[in-house]
Amino acid sequence: PPLFLQISAMKPKKSPRDNGQQDLFRPELAKMIDHRHGLVKLANVVDWDRLDELFGKEYCPDNGRPAISTRLMVSLQYLKYTYNLSDDDVVAGWVENPYWQYLSGMQYFEHEAPIHPSSMSRWRKRIGEAGAEQLLKETIAAGLKLKVVRPHQLKRVNVDTTVQEKDIRFPTDARLYHRARRRLVDAAKKRKIPLRQNYNRIGKGLFFQQSRYAHARQMKRAAKCTRKLRTILGR
């Protein structure tokens, strides 16, 4: 990549809670939240130092402006996919939620967005597929530590293919009649049974005609073709 892209950002900054700076006039997040909350427990078991070391390799060590803290970016990505939010929505929700801010390593409650939403997509591109796999591993490790995930549950992966394109044909009566006739003709050929007429040309024409009529909402004509296909099947 071009040189200016390589030196555009230094290693990520530390999260505010790790800086050790105190503000006597602002209440700390740790004193505002319920430590039994799931996100608080998660924040306490994730190996943030390991993630910081892992993703810090993607940045230049001594040139450019310091990058956003790894903990903040990892937390925002986790919240995005956990709650099924867009980049804009997760950043907007972060400003309103003390538990999200605690997970992100904030020491005090912040009233302004920590980043521009576009930074999230750029960060995902920077870490790539390998980085996403490391995040998944750390998420699983945290789940095992909290005992919300059992080892035997990792032996099988359930994949939701709801939005995946599928080659499925709706089983209309006309289609079923047409397929049944073709299979009967094929079975007769294999067994060398002579047929007076196989209706291959007529059946195919009727099936396509029925489909066109149904698409054009000419249901009476479509039904007539379906009846003819049924009659042919019976012969």
- Please tell me what DSSP assigns to residue 195: -
Least confident span in 62-76, 124-138, 139-153, 182-196? 62-76
Instruction: Report the SS3 class of residue 199.
Output: coil
Which of 109, 113, 92, 89 lies closest to 33, judged by CA? 109
In which band, very low, low, confident or very high, does the pLDDT at 152 lie, cut at 50, 70 and 90? confident
Q: Are 44 and 38 contacting, i.e. CB atoms less than 8 angstroms apart? A: no
The pTM of the full predicted model, rounded to 2 decimals, is 0.58
What are the residues whose beta carbons fall under 8 Å from the beta carbon of 207, sequence distance 6 or more? 174, 175, 178, 225, 229
For the chain, give the mean pLDDT: 84
Answer yes or no: is pLDDT of 177 > 80: yes
Q: How high is the pLDDT of residue 220?
A: 92
pLDDT at site 10: 55
Residue 120 three-state SS? helix
Q: Which residue has the higher pLDDT, 167 or 229?
A: 229
pLDDT higher than 60, residue 225? yes
| Least reliable range by pLDDT among 51-60, 132-141, 142-151 | 51-60
* DSSP secondary structure of 79-102: HHHHTT--HHHHHHHHHH-HHHHH
Could you tell me the residue ranges of all domains in the chain?
3-155, 173-234
In this predicted structure, what is the pLDDT of residue 3? Answer: 40
- In tens, the pLDDT along 9-40 reads 555 666 666 655 666 678 889 999 999 999 99
- pLDDT of 215: 87
18-22, 100-104, 176-180: the lowest-pLDDT one: 18-22
**DSSP letter (8 states) at residue 114:** S
- pLDDT tens across 111-138, in order? 999 999 999 999 999 899 999 999 999 9
